[in-house]
C-alpha cells in the first residue's frame, strides 16, 4: 500500500509540475512552487526529486514516450485523407501538452544539457516515421515530391515545429494560448502545401475548432 501511495504521489507531482511549467515557463517555477501546489512540504518533494533537474528529466521521459507514440502510430486508413489531418493534429496536441519543452528550449539545455543526445535520437525516429507517412500519402495520390524534396520538407517541418512556439512567445503574447496552435498549424501547413495534389488538399482541413477544450 505504501509503495502505491508513493507512486501516486510521484505521479501527482509530475502532473502538477507539468502544468506549472507549461503555464509559467521553466525558469519561473521553483521546487518550492511545485511542493506548494502539490500540497506537500519541500522536504517531502525531495524524497521523489532531489533536484529540479531530476524532475525535468522525468517529465522528459513522459514527453519521449508520448512523442514516439504520436510519430509511430498506425494510420487508421491510409486511403482516407482525413487520417493525415488527424495525424498532424495529434502532433499539435503533443506540442500543447508539453509546450514548455518547445517554448523553453534554451532554458532546458542550460538545466539539462545531456538531454540533447536523447532528443536527437527521438528526432531521428520521429523523422523516419513522418517519412513513412509521406510515403503513404504518395502511394495514395495525395502528395507528389522527389526524395530530395521530401528530405528538405522533413527538415523544414522539424525546424518550424520545434521552434514556432519560441518564436511566437517572443513576437506575440508570451503566455501561449490554445488559439496560438492554429497559427502554428498554418505555418506547418504552408510547408507541405506545394506538394499536395488536388485530392491531397483535403488533408489540410485546418485547425479551426479542433483545439477547443485544450486547457
Which triple of cell numbers denotes residue 121? 535520437
Judge contact between 206 and 129, C-beta under 8 A. Answer: no
Q: In the structure, what pLDDT confidence band is assigned to residue 7 with cuts at 50, 70 and 90?
A: confident
- Report how far residue 131's alpha carbon sits from residue 149's, in angstroms, rounded to the nearest whole number: 11
Kindly report, residue by residue over 12-43, the tens digit of the pLDDT.
999 999 999 999 999 899 999 999 999 999 98
Contacts of 70 (CB under 8 A, 6+ apart): 90, 91, 94
Say whether pLDDT at 210 is over 60: no
- Global confidence as pTM: 0.89
Question: Which CATH number fits the domain that encloses residue 28?
Answer: 1.10.10.60
Number of domains comprising the chain:
2
The reply to whether 19 and 65 lie within a common domain is: no
Kindly report, residue by residue over 62-79, the tens digit of the pLDDT.
999 999 999 999 999 999
Q: In the structure, what pLDDT confidence band is assigned to residue 214 with cuts at 50, 70 and 90?
A: low
* Residue 130 covered by a domain: yes
Instruction: Please tell me the least confidently modeled range out of 41-45, 147-151, 174-178.
Output: 174-178
pLDDT (0 to 100) of residue 173: 63
Contacts of 108 (CB under 8 A, 6+ apart): 26, 56, 101, 115
Which triple of cell numbers denotes residue 150? 521530401
The reply to whether 116 and 38 lie within a common domain is: no
Instruction: Supply the range of the domain harboring residue 28.
Output: 1-50
Q: State mean pLDDT over 80-95.
A: 92
What's the mean per-residue pLDDT of the chain?
89
Q: State mean pLDDT over 151-178.
A: 86
Q: Which residue has the higher pLDDT, 173 or 91?
A: 91
- Report how far residue 184's alpha carbon sits from residue 116's, in angstroms, rounded to the nearest whole number: 23
Judge contact between 131 and 158, C-beta under 8 A. Answer: no
The reply to whether 191 and 90 lie within a common domain is: yes
| Short-list 162, 160, 161, 152, CA closest to 131 | 152
The reply to whether 9 and 91 lie within a common domain is: no
* Residue 30 covered by a domain: yes
Say whether pLDDT at 2 is over 60: no
* Residue 213 covered by a domain: no
Phi, psi angle pair for 87, to nearest 5°: -60, -45
Q: State mean pLDDT over 145-173.
A: 90
The reply to whether 88 and 168 lie within a common domain is: yes
Judge contact between 38 and 45, C-beta under 8 A. Answer: yes
pLDDT (0 to 100) of residue 172: 61
pLDDT (0 to 100) of residue 1: 47
Amino acid at each position: 500500500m505504501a509503495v502505491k501511495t508513493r507512486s501516486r504521489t510521484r505521479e501527482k507531482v509530475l502532473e502538477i509540475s507539468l502544468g506549472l511549467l507549461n503555464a509559467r515557463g521553466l525558469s519561473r517555477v521553483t521546487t518550492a512552487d511545485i511542493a506548494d501546489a502539490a500540497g506537500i512540504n519541500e522536504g517531502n518533494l525531495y524524497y521523489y526529486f532531489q533536484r529540479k533537474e531530476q524532475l525535468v528529466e522525468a517529465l522528459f521521459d513522459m514527453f519521449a514516450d508520448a512523442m514516439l507514440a504520436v510519430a509511430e502510430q498506425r494510420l487508421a486508413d491510409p486511403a482516407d485523407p482525413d487520417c493525415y489531418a488527424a495525424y498532424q493534429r495529434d502532433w499539435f496536441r503533443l506540442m500543447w501538452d508539453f509546450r514548455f519543452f518547445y517554448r523553453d528550449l534554451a532554458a532546458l539545455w542550460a538545466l539539462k544539457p545531456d538531454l540533447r543526445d536523447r532528443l536527437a535520437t527521438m528526432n531521428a525516429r520521429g523523422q523516419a516515421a513522418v517519412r513513412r507517412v509521406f510515403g503513404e500519402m504518395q502511394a495514395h495520390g495525395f502528395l507528389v515530391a522527389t526524395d530530395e524534396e521530401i528530405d528538405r520538407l522533413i527538415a523544414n517541418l522539424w525546424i518550424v515545429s520545434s521552434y514556432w512556439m519560441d518564436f511566437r512567445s517572443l513576437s506575440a503574447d508570451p503566455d501561449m494560448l490554445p488559439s496560438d496552435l492554429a497559427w502554428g498549424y498554418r505555418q506547418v501547413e504552408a510547408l507541405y502545401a506545394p506538394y499536395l495534389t488536388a485530392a491531397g488538399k483535403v488533408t489540410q482541413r485546418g485547425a479551426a475548432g479542433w483545439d477547443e477544450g485544450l486547457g
